[in-house]
Structure 1
Amino acid sequence: MVRRYNTLLTALAAAALAGCAAPHGARSVSHAPPAADRQRVNLAHFDHLFAEAVVGGEPVGVLRIYSEAPDYRFAIEPNEGYACVDDVARGMVLLAAMPTLTPARQRQLDLMTRFVVAMQADNGYFHNFIWHDGRINRDYRTSLAELNWWSLRALWGLEAALQKLPPASDTARRARLAADRLVANLVRDLPQRTGSTTVDGVPVPDWLPFGSGADAASTAVLGLAAHYRRTREPGTRALIARLGEGMVAMRAGDAATFPHGAHLSWRNRWHAWGNAQAYALLRAGSLLDRADFTRSALAEVDGFYPHLLRTGMLSSFALHRAGDRWLASDAERFPQIAYGLSPMVLAAGEAYRVTGDHRYHALAERLFAWFEGDNAAARPMYDPATGRAYDGIVGAAKINANSGAESTVEALFASMAMQGHSLP
């Protein structure tokens, strides 16, 4: 997960926000493209990143992780590799969300599914990276087969693909087996609801991934929800409920009190990237008829997202208790990345879908405007003409113009949501 952020963090501006209350200033002038092009889903750069490979003697499909400006050639991370489950699974979700798939897209989905299945280790979890020659990176810390982000993302990708693959195909059969095996692991390895611990005065649960990893739990719930819709397994339902309750326990503040209903990411920290708790809780609330999940999600969408828009967006902060107040420290405005904005756009769009309240659609449009140039850099971060999404805003008026797989797919997720399409 951290591979792209290490590069971005080297360019962070030293602009901590005391208490997270100081606005950046007036909202930047929007540089939105013409109305006919706004929010258009263009898979041209996705196709540029797509490649066929061979893993374990089998043809597979991958997305290259890094695509570097100005010519958007490809790069490799020397400790990790050039393609990973984390991004390919995202691509599978994207393709599965398309209303229809051409034969070429169907083939891409099949090949990418075969890649993810090939990365499953004997223990049921997934390795993450491959090298250029198709060897699996089995040893580096971000590629170990364990209960980690890439295994959770693999579940969401596999379950999404199963909604579009021919059910009788060999790829679908193998994907079902891989997903069922992984879910059995999660039911076994994630702890039962036990208790909580306190970090800087902030009580957090101890039964989520990594103890209090609500961010990782949100990815798990998106995959588990799709698994439950397919299988109706009681164990899957119970796990979704337990993880949802843990995410609810990570919410802090309310509409009038900082941090305005935000769900913390891990321990006492909030970061934008991967913070999809509101989106996952809305999906799980509808699926399990859990009004408490829906209320918790809407509290974040109603309170925290407008706060971020008023203050010019944030990248991260730590929360601590001072008497009867919540205060922030170590606040950072940058980097701001597609993977930080897309979960908010998805959550606002889902809130509109769940409630029918048009103000949530308006909020989603305001959040999506970040991609169109209404941001700290006053630069569009998604180009609907090329399908490129840039890798981040790294300082005031400064962007990272590379366009890797994560940024590209996350921006396309947001575009799909703005067009009214639901992710699987």
Structure 2
Amino acid sequence: MTATTGRPTTPDGGRRRTVPGPSFAHLTRLSDDTGLFEHARHAIVRREHGYCTDDVARGLVVTSREPDPPAEVLRLAERYLGFLTHAQDAAGAFHNRLGHDRRWTDQPGLGDWWGRALWGLGTAAARSPAAWIREEALVAFTRGAARRSPAPHAMAFAGLGAAEVLRRHPAHAAAAALLTDAATAVGAPGADPRWPWPQPRLTYANAALAEVVIAASQLRHGGPPLDEGLRMLAWLRDVQLLDGHLSVVPAGGWRRGAARLRHDQQPIEVAAFADACATAVTVTGDLGWEAGVRHAVDWFLGGNDVGTAMWDPATGGGYDGLTPHGPNLNQGAESTLALISTLQHARRWS
């Protein structure tokens, strides 16, 4: 059963929608005693595609964010933590892909999955109500935090994990150094108000880059000015609002000077925007950023370009993408995790 917050959301002043509480039913359906399966056909798991560290790490983020998790959700967190510690090598890098035969199909590396693994581990180390999860997660995070990736997105995800650790352990030197380096890897916004983004192209989970700069400005002495991260996020918000609803940069991205396409839109983009706006509220105390979270929640409930719900109330799963003709009805791990993550932020209105 899916609970509701009891509060409607009306970011555009339109019809009122009741916000459901986050459901872990489909996430449980996608999980087994090893980890979290990546893909589904509609709501049915596609086991042949195996598991990936990217999704398991995101699973650890959302299960660790639950303030009072039921036993089932705590078991999921333990399982995901076990997967990540198994994926990590002695030098702090991570495998990303595990087949259904329980064999790794790649070598340990420092791609985006490394960053997300540190994000998951950092969140568990800071927020899990279970001491044994916090302790093991912090050991694995510390080992991985000694490494650096050349990819700005990977560094941004890792930096978000470092920010979580620093909120609980302000003197954690490895987390402090990693957060500083993550903000540096993202870069400073440019002077052109038409394109202040540090990179010439928006790709995916774009708001995570702004979020890590905002977090670094709060948690690191001598970090980037808060205004830099807020300016990035404000511009991203403005270019993704269309007729009062959220219309996020599609999977194909958007390059400076090029025409912007509207589809296919991915739930991960919406979840990253909700996370960043929630962090902006926490750091600045400016409740105006809550409107961004409400727009993100409403995107899943039908406040989007097509005017259709992007989740299945019967399963608790999130749909994989928004096409010009409606949702892609497959309910894979990434989209379901994005739904849960976004709905978790709606608790601030309860």
Residues 345, 364 of structure 1: 8 Å contact kept: yes
Name the aligned partner's letter for residue 249 of structure 2: L
Change (3 A) 1:295 1:66: same
Equivalent position of 2:161 in the other structure: 223
SS of the residue aligned with 1:332? coil
Q: Distance in 1 between matches of 2:162 and 2:123?
A: 11
Asked if the contact 1:371/1:380 (under 8 Å) is kept, the reply is: yes
* 1:231 to partner: Cα distance: 7.0
Which has the higher relative contact order, 1 or 2, with Cα contacts under 8 A spaced 6 or more apart? Answer: 1
**Aligned residue in 2 for 1:238:** 177
1:159 is aligned, of 122, 126, 129, to 122
Change (3 A) 1:304 1:166: closer
Which residue pairs with 1:317 in the alignment? 254
Asked whether the equivalents of residues 216 and 274 of structure 1 are also in contact (C-alpha less than 8 Å), the reply is no
Q: Is 1:361 the counterpart of 2:290 in the alignment?
A: yes
Q: Which has the higher strand share?
A: 1
Unaligned runs of 5+ in 2: 1-10
Assess if the C-alpha contact under 8 Å between 1:381 and 1:389 holds in 2: yes
CA contact (8 A) 1:46 1:409 kept: yes
Change over 3 Å in CA distance of 1:390–1:165 after alignment to 2: same
Separation in 2, partners of 1:176, 1:235: 11
Q: Tell me which of 94, 108, 116 is aligned to 1:145.
A: 108
Following TM superposition, by how much is the alpha carbon of 1:347 offset from its aligned partner in structure 2, in angstroms?
1.4
Match of 1:20 in 2: none
2-structure distance, mates of 1:105, 1:285: 33
TM-score (norm 1): 0.71
Q: How far did residue 31 of structure 1 move?
A: 7.7
In the other structure, the counterpart of 2:51 is 83
Shift of 1:66: 0.8
Match of 1:406 among 316, 322, 334: 334
Question: In 2 relative to 1, CA 120–239 (structure 1 residues): closer, same or farther, beyond 3 Å?
Answer: closer
Which residue does 1:116 correspond to in 2? 84
* Percent identical: 25
Partner of 1:334: 263
Give deviations 1:242-272, integer Å, cap 9, x for gaps. Answer: 32133242x2456xx313x4453xxx21123
Q: Which has the larger radius of gyration?
A: 1
Residue segments in structure 1 that go unaligned for 5+ positions in a row: 1-26, 54-61, 139-143, 191-208, 320-327
- The letter of the residue matching 2:21 is R
Q: Secondary structure of 2:273's match? A: helix
Q: 1:235 to 1:116 in 2, by over 3 A?
A: closer
- Aligned residue for 2:260, secondary structure, equals strand
Tell me the C-alpha RMSD between the 2 structures.
Answer: 2.7
With 407-416 and 352-361 compared, the bigger mean Cα shift is at: 352-361
Q: Does 1:180 align with 2:117?
A: no
For 2:306 and 2:241, locate their aligned partners in 1 and report how far apart those are by CA, in whole Å: 14
Q: Is the 8 A contact 2:186 2:198 kept in 1?
A: yes
Number of the residue aligned with 1:386 = 315
Change over 3 Å in CA distance of 1:65–1:162 after alignment to 2:
same
Secondary structure class of the residue paired with 2:309: coil
Does the CA contact (< 8 Å) of 2:145 and 2:175 recur in 1? yes
SS at match of 2:32: strand
Q: 2 CA distance for matches of 1:335 and 1:64?
A: 23
How far apart, CA to CA, are the structure 2 residues paired with 1:88 and 1:283?
Answer: 23
Q: 2: distance between equivalents of 1:146 and 1:417?
A: 32
Cα distance between partner residues in 1 of 2:91 and 2:46: 31
**Structure 1 residue 40: Cα displacement:** 1.8
Offset at residue 117 of structure 1 (A): 0.6
Distance 2:12 2:263 in 1: 16
Would you say 1:64 and 2:32 are equivalent positions? no
Match of 2:6 in 1: none
CA, structure 1 residues 252+118, in 2 after alignment: closer, same or farther (shift >3 Å)?
Answer: same
TM-score by length of 2: 0.84
Paired residues, what number?
A: 332
1-structure distance, mates of 2:33, 2:300: 30
Aligned to 2:5: none
CA–CA distance in 2 between the matches of 1:331 and 1:242?
31
